[in-house]
Structure 1
Amino acid sequence: MLAILVAVAVVLLFGFIWNKTRSRLTHIPGPSGIPIAGNALEITSCFKLISKLHEWMEKYGEIFKINIFGDEILVVSGALIGEMLVTKGSDFAGRPKIPTWEKVFKNEVHLVLRDYDPKLRFIRKLVHKGLRQYGEGMDKIEAITVTEIGKCLDKIDKLDGADFDPFTYIHHSISQVMNTLVTGEAVPDGHPMLNKAIDWDKLDGEIGQDPAFFLPAMEKMSFLFGEGKIKDYTDVMEFFIEHWRSYEATYDKENMRGLYDVIYKAYLESETDEEGVKISYNNVKYLMFELYGAGIITTHKAIYAFVHMMVTHPGIQKRIQAQIDDVIGSQRNPTTADKRKVPLLEATIHETLRYISHVPFALPHETKRETSLGGFAIPNKTQVWPFISGNHYNPKYFKDPLSFNPDRFLEHDGSVSHASSRRMLTPFGAGPRNCVGEVFARTRLFLFTASLLQRFRLLQPNEGKLDVLDPKREDYFTKLPNICPNFKIRAIHR
């Protein structure tokens, strides 16, 4: 049976590739690969993909091409990421069509995977409008976040120093912040939404490992991969959508409770932008699903890794806590106004995002017109990958990149280095397609980590020992975005 499936796959692929045009990127260097498959057999897992991209970057430079079953893809890093995403952001703002995901989202993608068209620009404006309802300076978002963090820390406090895995505690807390932003209220403890969000997160990471789900050329072979995972993913998505739809019965246009109401109102009132673009009811449902997931998945992974780093780098933890004690003390909650006053914590967050590089390359971009990059002519409709970890682990930009060193983001006077000196640190992307919730994510990262270290000393577990995280080890690449393997620690009240 397996031999038949493989034979069918080869025939499909051969026919698919036979109809493709000849190479349009002969002037750009890259690994040669083999007939039909190109370089596909060299990158059969996330670990192999990232390892090979680093290897090829060292050999060919900061722009090179790879071939995946006839699809030519440019991989760029270094200063070329800035040229691509910022200087020429509109040229590279497209997305290649990924048929598998269009099936999931009813023949239309809505935000992250959508091409950069008028509808996407309108959707991004609506999202920003929804976030602005929480006030200038994100005061209300801060209050919501601090409330949920407090509940989380109270639960950890009750463990009384016993060994525990912080994964679920952090995940539930971040999910509750998102629940409140979407609908205006958190769900009760024990609500199915909380553990369902964990199921979704894990499933999303597993799907991210499968090339059939994010490489258009591999879609022809999707039946050989995890088709069942798509069904599971769709089931989880419908669970969340049905929960949010229940709020439509109490919708009041004079009382916007959360992001769902803002997007739903735009649909009901047929709001348009200057180009006359409207959103559909499908946009309301699936856009919310994308926003909800984006607000949980990467933030949770960053905080989880930060906790790991504090336990395995106790000297850094003590230095941060000394600054927290001096600036905030123990009698009030941290606020975003404290960020610049606790520069070592802000620098450590920067360094955590660099070191874990949990999104090693950005989602595929596609050129919207003929353009150029690094002096090379780039045809229209060319797929391009910004190789983020290619910067983060490059000794050209970060000395001794595999050491965890927050001081690299501090000036001699102890202040946080200027943003211009961090231009190679791009965990949230840049340009027209930058993360729509970057400010929101950074707010939660600071408030959670500051509150955690204000209250607890994070220590090695009683049983076993936590080793320093190696972001190049294969067990770090079991899901995408990357997440460090599960671990246990102790949290002792200070």
Structure 2
Amino acid sequence: MLAILVAVIVVLLFGFIWNKTRSRLTHIPGPNGIPIAGNGLEITSTFKLVTKLHEWMEKYGDIFKINLFGEEIVVVGGILIGEMLVTKGSDFAGRPKIPAWEKLEGNEVHLVLRDYDPKLRFIRKLVHKGLRQYGEGMDKIEVITVTEIAKCLDKIETLNGADFDPFTYIHHAISQVMNTMVTGEAVPDGHPMLNKAIEWDRLDGEISQDPTFLMPAMEFFFTLIRVGKLRYYTDVMDFFIEHWRSYEGTYDKENMRGLYDVIYKAYLESETDEEGVKISYNNVKYLMFELYGAGIITTHKTIYAFFHMMVTHPELQKRIQAQIDDVIGSERTPTTADKHKLPLLEATIHETLRYISHAPFALPHETKRETSLGGFTLPNKTQVWPLISANHHNPEYFKDPMSFNPDRFLENDGSLSPANSRKMLTPFGAGTRNCVGEVFARTRLFLFTASLLQRFTLLQPTEGKLNVLDPKSEDHLKKLPCICPNYKIRAIPR
């Protein structure tokens, strides 16, 4: 106990000193805090964090600052997000250090949380190279995705209309797509990889419930409180890495099977970019872990919410099905070529992403040099959070934002509204650090939802009733990325 007490005092004193030395943003408005903790004690959960950020933005406007145990953070919304991510993307392309995460990944971060340095640029090029191997127009990715979706829907059909929770069915299907993308093959049904991916997803969500994860000054407390979960998270990570490493024994540089081979080849052959940057074996292992998780977690949550929305909006479901029947019929499988012919489905996917805002704020950015935003000067190494959900739920940009209404993305003639009219919709980020797998994710979202509604009508369960999802509720905002609470429905073959 004495050691813990001493550590607490040291951290608090350090926070106080840091607070004094880092007050560089006095010219930016924001909520008053208390000594040492700043505003940290007001955001003791993910739900409270998101809720308070929204409250403060309504009070102070599209740019304000908060203080979390000595770390000053600028939060932005509105058109300033576009200025930050696109117009001045290179100025804001950095990432602040999150020590707890670095320790999980071999004392280095490899893609999502990596600072925008030459190695990150090289890694992103390698990932794009790995995706390009699947052909122009993502033809091979489409085949892989459609195959796994069909298996998933076949399993749902065997339920014969009984009540079920689609969580695991969707998760396994998306995981199998990623398994094939990484190694060139899906794993057999019942393989430990599938349920281990769900464990990983659950752990990721549980860790995200503690906002101190994002506060370097609170690293000691986060590690102390979450030590058991962090140890188990490392075990899960090692499980996946060892599975992928088993493919190294059959590696053939003339036959690239998946993303792992592409990254592994770059390591073996000491490939470099124009700046002479190379990747390490640690990069090979942990980069794949980041890509795999990113390819599952948000896509799964969006499709899971889509199922829910179809049940609670049955008239919308009928309208989409009528369009699918007219364009595709029931004999052939939907393809990406059908996207522009199914504007209502595309609009509904956009609306799902807007409504649930699974990532309420983008991952923390950091300025790479002194710059400005919204008329305020920001020093080098200023941490900045784009509050995406503040835009998505802002009536200035989306009329009646808490109403689920895909028609907002349609023209009067029923066609999809042009992309430039949706600039305030940024579920995948934008600019220099936009999601590297955005096109891949959108392809899976379309193919899964089109195939689902072609084959099934989704209905309320026989017991109980689903209520409309509330994206501002504590249940929804409990974890990051957000996911609607578990539910049961029925799927009736058409």
**Normalization by structure 2: what TM-score?**
0.98
C-alpha distance in structure 2 between counterparts of 1:229 and 1:15, whole Å: 26
Question: Which amino acid letter does the alignment assign opposite residue 67 of structure 2?
Answer: N
Please list every run of 5 or more consecutive structure 2 residues that lacks an aligned counterpart in the other structure.
none
Deviation at 1:122, TM superposition (A): 0.2
Deviation of the 1:15 alpha carbon: 2.3
Equivalent position of 1:422 in the other structure? 422
Contact 2:328 2:334 in 1 (8 A): yes
Letter in 2 for 1:449: T
Distance 1:433 1:311 in 2: 35
Report 1:430-469 matches (<5 A): 430-469=430-469
SS of equivalent residue, structure 1 residue 150: helix
User: Aligned letter for 2:474?
Assistant: E
3-state SS in 1 of match to 2:228 = helix
CA distance in 1, matches of 2:419, 2:224: 45
- Give 1:168's aligned amino acid: T
- Rounded Cα–Cα distance in structure 2 between residues aligned with 1:6 and 1:52: 30
Paired residue for 1:317? 317
1:335 and 2:318 are equivalent in the alignment: no
> In the alignment, which residue of structure 1 is the partner of 2:41?
41
Partner of 2:195: 195
Aligned 8 A contact 2:15 2:37 in 1: no
Native 8 Å contact 1:130 1:262 kept in 2: yes
Measure, in 2, the Cα distance between the counterparts of 1:252 and 1:19.
Answer: 52
- C-alpha distance in structure 2 between counterparts of 1:7 and 1:386, whole Å: 36
CA contact (8 A) 2:18 2:70 kept: no
Q: How does 1:92-131 map to 2 (within 5 A)?
A: 92-131=92-131
2:491 is the counterpart of 1:491: yes
Between stretches 416-425 and 212-221, larger displacement belongs to 212-221
In structure 1, distance between residues paired with 2:466 and 2:294: 29
- Deviation, 1:149, is 0.2
Name the residue aligned to 1:255.
Answer: 255
Backbone CA RMSD of aligned residues: 1.1
CA 1:269/1:22 → structure 2, altered by over 3 Å: closer, same or farther?
closer
> In structure 2, what is the Cα distance between the partners aligned to 1:351 and 1:39?
33
Q: How many residues are treated as equivalent by the alignment?
A: 493
Say if 1:465 and 1:382 are closer, same or farther in 2 by CA, change over 3 A. Answer: same
- How far is the alpha carbon of 1:102 from its aligned partner? 1.2
- Cα offset for 1:5? 4.0
| Inter-partner Cα distance in structure 1 for 2:309 and 2:70 | 41
What residue identity is the alignment partner of 1:298? T
Name 2:300's counterpart in structure 1: 300
CA positional deviation for 1:6:
5.8
* Partner Cα separation in structure 2 for residue 478 and residue 44 of structure 1: 11
Question: Is the contact between residue 161 and residue 490 of structure 1 (CA under 8 Å) also seen in structure 2?
Answer: yes
Corresponding residue of 1:409? 409
Aligned to 2:149: 149
Please name the residue that 2:75 is paired with. 75
| Residue matched to 1:180 | 180
1:425 positional shift: 0.5
Give the secondary structure class of the aligned counterpart of 2:476: helix
User: Deviation of residue 478 (structure 1)?
Assistant: 2.3
Higher mean alpha-carbon deviation, 475-484 vs 405-414, is at 475-484
Structural mapping, 1:232-251, within 5 Å: 232-251=232-251
Query: What's the offset of the Cα at 1:22?
Result: 4.2
Alpha-carbon offset, residue 226 of structure 1: 1.0
Q: Is residue 15–residue 36 contact of structure 2 (8 Å, CA) maintained in 1? A: no
Q: CA shift at 1:7, angstroms? A: 6.4
1:86 maps to 2:113: no
In structure 2, what is the Cα distance between the partners aligned to 1:118 and 1:400? 43
2:377 match: 377
Q: Which residue of 2 is the match for residue 230 of structure 1? A: 230
Identity between Structure 1 and Structure 2 (%): 82
How far apart are 1:4 and its partner, in Å?
7.6
1:67 deviation in Å?
Answer: 0.2
Query: Is the CA contact 1:210–1:225 (under 8 Å) kept in the aligned structure 2?
Result: no
Counterpart Cα distance in 2 of 1:4 and 1:51: 35
Q: What is the CA–CA distance in structure 1 between the aligned matches of 2:9 and 2:73, rounded to whole Å?
A: 21
Post-superposition CA distance 1:298-330 (Å, at most 9, x none): 000000000000000001000000000000000
Q: Does 1:159 align with 2:159?
A: yes
Preserved CA contact (<8 Å) 1:170 1:304: yes
Instruction: Give the TM-score of the pair, scaled to structure 1.
Output: 0.98
Shift of 1:212: 3.0
Retained in 2: the 8 A contact 1:208–1:214?
Answer: no
In structure 2, the CA distance between the partners of 1:174 and 1:22, relative to structure 1 (3 Å rule), is closer
Q: 1:64 is aligned with what amino acid?
A: F
1:341-352 superposed matches below 5 A: 341-352=341-352
Q: Report the CA distance between 1:218 and its aligned residue.
A: 1.9
Partner of 1:12 in structure 2? 11
In structure 1, distance between residues paired with 2:219 and 2:381: 18
Look up the match of 2:276: 276
In structure 2, what is the Cα distance between the partners aligned to 1:229 and 1:54? 30
Unaligned ranges ≥5, structure 1: none
Instruction: Note closer, same or farther for the CA distance 1:7–1:43 as it changes in structure 2 (3 Å cut).
Output: farther
1:428-481 per-position Cα deviation (integer Å, ceiling 9, x unaligned): 000110000000000000000000000000000001101110111111122211
Query: Counterparts of 1:50 and 1:16 in 2: how far apart (Å)?
Result: 23
Structure 2 CA distance, aligned partners of 1:10 and 1:386?
Answer: 33
